[in-house]
Structure 1
């Protein structure tokens, strides 16, 4: 009965109290729009609250996800979090993904019923069957260039996968600013065949859509256009 109800609510869509972070970034800004359009009540935590445009259904609180503190007590009854955290500093080590995600999860109510969707990267692994040229570029160019961010994403994935909550890790490939062109292809807990770049718009659509999808719980999902 419980499984039927969860599948039913996922199908019809139920508004939730959603905590979001990274909403001033390229993907996060689009995901925030999609979440509000879907009727979710969103609490967004941002270091610069003034950079987040006001909208009905949105409450913005000031805070740094790397620092637990007052903002965590202001998220209210949120039981779900969509993390679009990112880091543009490629020269220095970071903890924005691992520590930021841990602090976001700690702020939620709901115990094991807590829902977490976070963004990682397909660049952490080179999937079997990847063409030689793509494999070489990933190993020799992309992974060294983003090594600090990837190292922290790996720590985040290790932390998240050990939590007894309803978690989903999304691994997108290279992101583009193209307009969304249909639904993203996705593979849960397996490698996606013939992955290619995906637009931030399509990624944002997918991340919001699976908030209510129990088939992605405790799953690492590769996505692509």
Structure 2
């Protein structure tokens, strides 16, 4: 089986975790990758080879700045084209007073969608029909249609993670509402850990976040405690960036 044609992929939130895991795999598969970072040196440190990967373009900037995002959505070697996909994995950092930015995901997605509209308007008819593959990293525990976490985890999600999940929920509403503009997939991993990549342990399920329907043939939505960020990034790469059309317009629930 031949490999998919190389794509151009924008990564937002790639300095660690899920985004970094997916980025490393995309680079190895010869995709052109653009990574927008507030501090590019933090990401560059993960690629200490000299020279750095030739298919990686680091851009300094803020993912809440629509103007900067608009420049990153343009194909680096063809100004008439836009990127093929966007991996959105930004998130807040916990502090002693709570999350450092309780609206980081919502504001970031608002800026991204605004930037996409700007690109379509400025690029004209060619970009007007462009619908990028948008992969947005979310979380379990926020479905409107059923429980996808163990009962033992409910107190943690409702108390300690309430603010972060409210932000993820707001982001999800924006993503789902962008159906005419993007080919989106929501990634709802269970509690994220820093564990290693595994083989054969990941379980997956599919929910339609509009209707609440689940993939009955796959056994419904799996319920589990944790999954490593490394495995989530691997799943994103294999099932969304390398293809995976069946996940368009769906929420992927993944866990061990």
Q: 1:35 aligns with which of 26, 30, 34?
A: 26
Q: 1:104 aligns with which of 112, 123, 126?
A: 112
Q: TM-score, normalised by structure 1?
A: 0.84
Q: Does the residue aligned with 1:69 lie in a helix, a strand or coil?
A: helix
Q: TM-score, normalised by structure 2?
A: 0.74
Q: 2:245 aligns with which of 211, 214, 219?
A: 214
State the shift of 1:216 in Å. 0.6
CA RMSD of aligned residues (A): 2.4
1:50-199 matches, within 5 Å, as 50-53=41-44, 54-77=52-75, 78-89=83-94, 91-92=98-99, 94-108=102-116, 110=127, 111-125=129-143, 127-128=146-147, 134-138=150-154, 140-163=155-178, 164=180, 165-182=182-199, 184-189=202-207, 190=214, 191-199=220-228
Could you tell me whether the CA contact under 8 Å between 1:94 and 1:148 is conserved in 2?
yes
Could you tell me whether the CA contact under 8 Å between 1:65 and 1:96 is conserved in 2?
no
- Runs of 5+ in structure 1 lacking a partner? 1-7
State the shift of 1:43 in Å. 0.6
Distance 2:147 2:165 in 1: 19
Distance 2:8 2:160 in 1: 37
Distance 1:166 1:82 in 2: 12
State the shift of 1:127 in Å. 4.3
State the shift of 1:14 in Å. 2.3
After superposition, the C-alpha distances for 1:119-149 in whole angstroms (9 at most, x for unaligned) are: 000022494486xxx32432x2222111211
